[in-house]
Amino acid sequence: MAEAVTRRSVVFYDTEFTTWPGAMENGWREPGQYREIAQIGAVRFNLDTMREEDEFDILVKPVKNPVVSDFFTELTGIAQKDIDEKGVSFPDAYRLFTAFIGADKTCCYGRDADVMRENLGWNGMPHAPENFDSLDIGPWFKCEGKPFGVQEKTNSGRLAAALGAPMSAIQEHNALHDARSIAAAYRFLKGKGVKDFFRSLVVVHP
């Protein structure tokens, strides 16, 4: 039997969810507006080598609003045809995502954990914090990254660009790109000698 390996790694993830003009400003409070997840993107990031080790990307079929708005498509680049042909149900997407996570801790930038729990609740799945407990690295970036170009309104997809951290392509508001942007920005700030957000995180892998 193989011995357990102690390794510091984390899953940076991001979500894209249904939206309309003005929805963010009004908090999705208009009748019929829900933050239904349409894409989950993630990268497994080794905190010792500062390298990505794996990636996850899946489209999800919304149920409350099965036809996404033109505004959503313009924002994310995800067309209705993409969702119809490649999307899976949220329960299936979530099961695949948790299988990808494995023993790692999850980390997002902002409200994605709240959105995930909302979607779990709508689908009759466990949604208490202990069932999806996620670190929010947003405040750390806005504090430690401020001297390097991160602003209060900098979103996850713009993090790497705001810092000048190298990325192969810019595709803001694509969940996998935005997760990769978080990882690239974290690597950049660590290279500048800022304090380690994950200094106490240790994960034991079988």
Q: Quick one: tokens of 118?
A: 């909302």
Q: Which pLDDT belongs to residue 1?
A: 45
CATH superfamily of the domain spanning 9-191:
Ribonuclease H-like superfamily/Ribonuclease H (3.30.420.10)
pLDDT recorded at residue 171: 79
Closest CA to 50 of 162, 206, 205, 194: 194
The per-residue pLDDT string of the chain (206 residues; one tens digit each, 9 = 90 and over) reads 444 556 689 999 999 999 999 999 999 999 999 999 999 999 999 999 999 999 999 999 999 999 999 999 999 999 999 999 999 999 999 999 999 999 899 999 998 999 999 999 999 887 655 557 789 999 999 999 999 999 999 999 999 999 999 887 667 789 999 999 999 999 999 999 998 898 766 554 55
What's the pLDDT score for residue 203?
52
As a whole number of angstroms, the distance between CA 85 and CA 33 comes to 23
Confidence at residue 2, expressed as pLDDT on a 0 to 100 scale? 45
